[in-house]
Chains A and B, each alone.
Chain A
Amino acid sequence: MEQIVFALLNGVIYGLLLFMVSAGLTLIFGMMGVLNFSHASFYMVGAYLAYTLQPLTGFWAAIVLAPLLVAGLGICVERFVLRRVHAFGHAHELLVTFGLSVVIAEVIKMFYGNFPVDYAVPSGLNFSAFALGGMEYPFYRLFMGGVALVMFAALYLMLTRTRVGIVVRAAIYRPRMVEALGHNVPLVFMSIFGIGAFLAGLAGAIAGAFYTTNPNMALELGVVVFVVVVVGGLGSMEGAMLASIVIGVMNSLAVGVNVSLADVLGRVGLGDWARDTGGVLSLQLSSLAATLPFFLMLLVLLVRPSGLLGEKE
């Protein structure tokens, strides 16, 4: 019982972290139609900036300042790079952001080296929140989950309950009409990009201390984040939330399941044959845990190409 509780909790919190990064990505895609390949790089930059600022300003100021700086970077990227490329279509935007992610990774390596830097959870936050069945649960994980939830609530309220949200949502569907009504659409887009970058930067600043801050962190998380956005439905905030949690929990539960296809075939008397054949048949589900999100993506794309909560094209 405790094992299941822990597995669920682990999964939900990892899912919330995925959400923090994918929220910005899906927001930007929903608003601007730009699939931002460099989004996970903002996550990495957030972690490195927080690591750099921490000795100067302390942990709390660092995790506030770093995302703000990342938001500034995001705004510059939108204003001076993407806006110029926008006229040439989506393929060019995709290529530019892809190139940008490579450049960011190399610049990070130039300044911080090839190996993980020692950015760690401050000792004041490094205690266990509660213990259950002999296992202790780190407080910092709950903290990460809490930040993600607050962020989700704030975003959701902003988009659905404020005038800004109305303008933003209108600008997605009828940019020209919104412009004709006197709103500055490029400014709206730039702000959205900044907010998306801020969210990724915040996730990086917080998660970088818990996991590791290394030059590959963008790549490691980036792929999963794309899967989340596709499964949830491109552009859908609620979809991203749902998909993040599903993928997080699925990952966490699968690790504990030592079942292979051979065991399943054993039910119909083919177990020995399957074990002798080996290969895929004797592969245990637990060793596939990190691959499951991709199976899920495949399944969703086959059955419901617009994603779990995506709008029908």
Chain B
Amino acid sequence: MLKTAMCCSALAIVWAGAVQAEPLQVALVETLSGPQASTGLLYRTAVQYEIDRINAAGGFRGEPVKLVEYDSQGGPVGAADRVKAAIADGARVILQGSSSSVAGQISEDVRKFNLRNKGKEVLYLNLGGEALELTGDKCNFYTIRTSPNAAIRFQTLTRGMKEMGLMGDKVYSINQNYSWGVDVQSIIEANAPKVGYKVVGETLHEVNKIQDFSPYVAQIQQSGADTVLTGNWSNDLLLLMKAASDARLKVRFGTAFLDQPGNIGNAGPVAEGNVMSAPFNPELNDKTRAFAEDYKAKTGHYPAYVEPYGVFGMELFAAALKTLDGQPGPVSADQLVLAIEKTGIETPVGPLRVRAADHQAEMSMVLQEVSKDALYKVDGTDYGFRPLKVYSGADSADPVQTTCQMKRPG
């Protein structure tokens, strides 16, 4: 009896699949469990938020867009495996953002898959891997980065700090020893003469392995720096700031990822006056406030860290889908890429568009500092991020890297 029932339901599923038009399948490949899951889970929240909006507005070609999640469990190896599974399951779009090393892997995998499977290409939307090579050396027609990159972050950060009088003369650069951190260090070096500061010391250290940053702080102290620029994220940023404050080191930190949840709560007064360059700040204008409130209503918290640009990247994708809506049949990755290149959107912060030449997004960047005067407090503290200056997309953009030789189809 049971067997018959199962048989029937299986048949029913097959049959249902046969008559319905195939919905567009989008795969989120992120670290959703284990020690590195915190960032991956934020991307999931952001992506889910936007997919829900797409589907509430009628989906794509009469079908809801189907979001499937794959847990890559940390490194590039797991991600490569999950990407294969996602493609085999019928995903046409891969979403990922939490790590440059994983982004590099997925970009390569997608490039190779597309070479070997003409007519079945997939698109990789990089929501947050910010290493430069992804739109340089490794740039690829089917990979689109909707987040800022190391150059955009640190050009706006250094210029902005100088213009606001927050940049000292002596800068110490401390970064994580992998593609992202190395990029940041070279940009800090390259900008020194342009912006007008001197790099008095540099450190590259292992990623999220160091418990005790006091030896590094002693190095900073010794160099006589008054400003520390760092692309560090997560524990590497938090522990560095705490160690600096314990040694009563009087420096200002210029950062990229200070707004990761828990950072300000943990660092407390230590964080005050430190600066960050990021593509969003909730108190900028009415539209950013409305977005922050709507996001909170749907997800339970204000958008922070990777969430805002995760949502904006997906909004761009949604806008591109809309231009392709209304035609019958499945959509190809080529059509998607061309549509995204042509489509620009207006985010609450400003316009967001993707350059055709290297598929790097151009967006407004907000220079902001940790302050008690901020409208939106974070982590249950008195502190929040107060916007200091906004750079428009054109203003913050870096030139297309000469190493990018993109092969376009046809």
Chain A, residues 181-215, CB within 8 Å of chain B (1/0): the string is 00000000000000000000000000000111011
Report which of A136, A140, A255 forms a contact with B215, defined as CB distance below 8 A: A255
**Is A73 in contact with chain B by the CB < 8 A criterion?**
no
Q: Is the interface on chain A under 10, 10 to 19, 20 to 34, or 35 or more residues?
A: 35 or more
Chain B positions within 8 Å of A11 at CB level = 215
Chain A positions within 8 Å of B381 at CB level = 118
B41 touches A114 (CB 8 A): yes
Chain A, residues 270-300, CB within 8 Å of chain B (1/0): the string is 0000000000000010111111000000000
Chain B positions within 8 Å of A138 at CB level = 246-247
B-contacting residues, A102-123, CB 8 Å:
105, 109, 114-120
**What's the Cα separation between A141 and B247 when bound, in Å?**
10
Chain B, residues 189-209, CB within 8 Å of chain A (1/0): the string is 000000000000001111011
Report which of A128, A220, A224, A290 forms a contact with B235, defined as CB distance below 8 A: A220
Which of A128, A141, A216, A291 has the most CB atoms of chain B within a 10 A radius of its CB?
A: A216
A212 touches B266 (CB 8 A): yes
A10 touches B35 (CB 8 A): no
**Is A219 in contact with chain B by the CB < 8 A criterion?**
yes
B262 touches A115 (CB 8 A): yes
**Is B75 in contact with chain A by the CB < 8 A criterion?**
no
Given A120-B268, A212-B239, A255-B215, A286-B247 contact (CB < 8 Å): no
Report which of B208, B210, B235, B247 forms a contact with A135, defined as CB distance below 8 A: B247
B242 touches A211 (CB 8 A): yes
**Is B179 in contact with chain A by the CB < 8 A criterion?**
no
Report which of B38, B239, B268 forms a contact with A211, defined as CB distance below 8 A: B239
**What's the Cα separation between A255 and B240 when bound, in Å?**
14
A212 touches B177 (CB 8 A): no
Chain A positions within 8 Å of B262 at CB level = 115-118, 214
Q: Whose C-beta in chain B lies nearest to the C-beta of A255?
A: B215
Chain B, residues 287-321, CB within 8 Å of chain A (1/0): the string is 00000000000000000000000000000000000
Binds A, one of B107-115, B122-130, B218-226: B218-226
**Is B260 in contact with chain A by the CB < 8 A criterion?**
yes
**What's the Cα separation between A215 and B261 when bound, in Å?**
14
B206 touches A291 (CB 8 A): yes
**Is B376 in contact with chain A by the CB < 8 A criterion?**
no
Q: Whose C-beta in chain B lies nearest to the C-beta of A214?
A: B235
B211 touches A3 (CB 8 A): no
**Is B330 in contact with chain A by the CB < 8 A criterion?**
no
Chain A, residues 1-21, CB within 8 Å of chain B (1/0): the string is 001001100110010010000
Report which of A7, A141, A252, A289 forms a contact with B246, defined as CB distance below 8 A: A141
**What's the Cα separation between A256 and B215 when bound, in Å?**
7
Q: Is the interface on chain B under 10, 10 to 19, 20 to 34, or 35 or more residues?
A: 35 or more
**Is B391 in contact with chain A by the CB < 8 A criterion?**
no
A115 touches B215 (CB 8 A): no
Given A118-B379, A214-B262, A7-B215 contact (CB < 8 Å): yes
B211 touches A287 (CB 8 A): no
A289 touches B211 (CB 8 A): no
Chain A positions within 8 Å of B260 at CB level = 115
**Is A244 in contact with chain B by the CB < 8 A criterion?**
no
Chain B positions within 8 Å of A290 at CB level = 205-206, 209-210
Chain A positions within 8 Å of B166 at CB level = none
Chain B positions within 8 Å of A255 at CB level = 203, 205, 215-216, 218-219
Report which of A118, A216, A248, A291 forms a contact with B266, defined as CB distance below 8 A: A118
**Is A137 in contact with chain B by the CB < 8 A criterion?**
yes
**Is A159 in contact with chain B by the CB < 8 A criterion?**
no
**Is B238 in contact with chain A by the CB < 8 A criterion?**
yes
A14 touches B214 (CB 8 A): yes
B38 touches A114 (CB 8 A): yes
Chain B, residues 242-269, CB within 8 Å of chain A (1/0): the string is 1000111000000000001111011010
**Is A134 in contact with chain B by the CB < 8 A criterion?**
yes
B140 CB, min distance to chain A CBs, angstroms? 25
Q: Whose C-beta in chain A lies nearest to the C-beta of B204?
A: A287
A136 touches B248 (CB 8 A): yes
Q: Whose C-beta in chain B lies nearest to the C-beta of A4?
A: B218
**Is A36 in contact with chain B by the CB < 8 A criterion?**
no
B238 touches A116 (CB 8 A): yes
Given A115-B262, A212-B238, A214-B235, A219-B212 contact (CB < 8 Å): no
B38 touches A6 (CB 8 A): no
**Is B65 in contact with chain A by the CB < 8 A criterion?**
no
B221 touches A114 (CB 8 A): no
Chain B positions within 8 Å of A7 at CB level = 215, 218
B215 touches A135 (CB 8 A): no
B247 CB, min distance to chain A CBs, angstroms? 6
Chain A positions within 8 Å of B242 at CB level = 210-212
B247 touches A221 (CB 8 A): no
Chain A, residues 144-171, CB within 8 Å of chain B (1/0): the string is 0000000000000000000000000000
Chain B positions within 8 Å of A10 at CB level = 212, 214-215, 218
**What's the Cα separation between A11 and B212 when bound, in Å?**
9
**Is A251 in contact with chain B by the CB < 8 A criterion?**
yes
Chain A positions within 8 Å of B37 at CB level = 109, 114
Having A14-B212, A211-B212, one finds 4 other A-B pairs with CB under 8 Å, namely: A3-B222, A117-B265, A135-B221, A220-B208
What residues of chain A have their CB less than 8 Å away from a CB belonging to chain B?
3, 6-7, 10-11, 14, 17, 105, 109, 114-120, 128, 134-138, 140-141, 210-212, 214-216, 219-221, 224, 248, 251-253, 255-256, 284, 286-291
Please give me the 10 A-B residue pairs with the lowest Cβ-Cβ distance, nearest first. Answer: A115-B262, A114-B38, A255-B215, A118-B265, A138-B246, A116-B262, A136-B248, A290-B206, A252-B215, A290-B209
Return 11 A-B CB contacts under 8 Å, by A number. Answer: A116-B263, A118-B268, A120-B268, A141-B246, A210-B242, A220-B211, A255-B218, A256-B219, A287-B203, A289-B215, A290-B206
